Amino acid sequence: MKNKLEQIKNQAFTDLHDLMNKKTSLNLEENLRTLRIKYLGRKGELSQILRNLKDLSVTEKKELGALANSIKKDLEAVFKEKEDEILGGNSKDYDLSLPGKEIKTGHLHPLTLIQRDLEDIFKSLGFSILEGPELESDYYNFEALNISKHHPARDMQDTFYVNWEKNKKDEKLVMRTHTSPVQVRAMQTYGAPLKAIVPGKVFRNEAIDASHEHTFYQLEGLMIDKDISITNMIALMKELLKGIFKKEVPVRIRPGFFPFVEPGIELDISCQLCGGEGCSVCKQSGWLELFPAGMVHPKVLEAGGIDSKKYSGFAFGLGLTRLVMMKYHINDIRLFNSGDLRFLEQF
């Protein structure tokens, strides 16, 4: 038995030596594991001998038990040494109590942050949040808004025509140029009274500069009820700006023309980038066009199936991307779609 134990030990050392010297071995790690199982595994010869010790006399048990255990210890040590050699030798240096590497998580885009703030403000005022298709029919984008086929107002919003693709109703499709088409869609679905906002992406075939993009965000607002006046509208617009900027922002109101409102206004805010001094974003004027609005045109109410003699309402089309520029003092609109992490990681 003693010889047998010595033989096992010698054979294990020889096999291990041969394996480690076989430089060509592709599966060194796996072969080492197989060898370990052969000599130290539960079904290995050494384990069997250790299991059978109980059948021996007390003296033999003592002598052979000590030898078998010492061989087992030696083999365990040498296998561990070889494993460390193969795996880079630092397995014993792991400190599992150390904190792990921080996994970088994403965060919300500045546009989403402001959009959520606005949604909270409007929800607290009882407005619903709606959405509409980005690929819109020519009818909803223009005609339902009182912009007929050859109306010059179409030039104000040059769009991307989708190969004059048509929908099921045989209508031409365009990338929507504003969120206003959802006005008529909402009226048709919910009727009056109605209080809703529509945040969303819009597209224009536009010459790009510091304050103009081809793809940007707007937030449409619509309130229809009995006895709604322009005073309600201006009060709401000011309330909204106060909620976002957390201070009174100087505004100016001037007449504006949009075929879907009557009367129409433009609310500009004092440029928050230059403090009204003039810069490339406000085109040296000190004011930024942000918030066009007006009383919904009777023809639009009728297109939405609402009796214009009974109901009136206002609508506005906030330039959401520009509002975010003003809030965070971003001096170039092109940064929003750039995907530049140096920009995005600041929020």
Residue 108 to residue 339: CA distance in whole angstroms? 13
Closer residue to ligand FA5, CB minimum distance, 8 or 187: 187
* Under rule CB under 6 A, residue 313 binds ligand FA5: no
Q: How far is the CB of 302 from ligand FA5 (least distance, A)?
A: 17
φ, ψ dihedrals at 221, nearest 5°: -130, 145
Q: How far is the CB of 254 from ligand FA5 (least distance, A)?
A: 12
Q: How far is the CB of 295 from ligand FA5 (least distance, A)?
A: 9
Q: What's the start-to-end Cα distance of the chain, in Å?
A: 75
Interface with ligand FA5: number of residues (CB under 6 A)? 24
Question: In this chain, which stretch among 59-67, 113-121, 310-318, 334-342 interacts with ligand FA5, using CB under 6 A?
Answer: 310-318
Residue of the chain from 206, 225, 262, 332 that contacts ligand FA5 (CB under 6 A): 206
* Under rule CB under 6 A, residue 132 binds ligand FA5: no
* Under rule CB under 6 A, residue 216 binds ligand FA5: yes
Beta strands in the chain (DSSP E): 128-129, 135-137, 161-166, 172-175, 194-203, 215-225, 251-255, 261-270, 287-296, 312-319
Residue 240 to residue 242: CA distance in whole angstroms? 5
DSSP character at residue 147: -
Other CB atoms within a 10 A radius of the CB of residue 256 amount to 17
* Under rule CB under 6 A, residue 317 binds ligand FA5: yes
* Under rule CB under 6 A, residue 79 binds ligand FA5: no
Q: Is the peptide bond before 193 cis (omega within 30 degrees of 0)?
A: yes
* Under rule CB under 6 A, residue 173 binds ligand FA5: no
Q: How far is the CB of 148 from ligand FA5 (least distance, A)?
A: 16
Closer residue to ligand FA5, CB minimum distance, 44 or 304: 304
Q: Tell me the H-state helices in 87-190.
A: 110-124, 138-141, 181-190
* Under rule CB under 6 A, residue 321 binds ligand FA5: yes
Place of tokens 């430089």: 23
Residue 75 to residue 282: CA distance in whole angstroms? 79
Q: How far is the CB of 214 from ligand FA5 (least distance, A)?
A: 7
* Under rule CB under 6 A, residue 204 binds ligand FA5: yes
Beta strands in 15-171 (DSSP E): 128-129, 135-137, 161-166
Residue 105 to residue 86: CA distance in whole angstroms? 35
* Under rule CB under 6 A, residue 271 binds ligand FA5: no
Residue of the chain from 141, 218, 272, 312 that contacts ligand FA5 (CB under 6 A): 218
Residue 232 to residue 125: CA distance in whole angstroms? 13
Reduce the DSSP state of residue 86 to 3 states and report it: helix
Residue type present at position 144:
A
* Under rule CB under 6 A, residue 322 binds ligand FA5: yes
Q: How far is the CB of 152 from ligand FA5 (least distance, A)?
A: 14
Question: In this chain, which stretch among 64-72, 117-125, 135-143, 258-266 interacts with ligand FA5, using CB under 6 A?
Answer: 258-266
Q: How far is the CB of 131 from ligand FA5 (least distance, A)?
A: 16
Place of tokens 């690929």: 135
* Under rule CB under 6 A, residue 36 binds ligand FA5: no
Binding site for ligand FA5 (CB under 6 A): 157, 178, 180, 204, 206, 212-213, 216, 218, 258, 261, 264, 289-290, 292-294, 315-317, 319, 321-322, 333
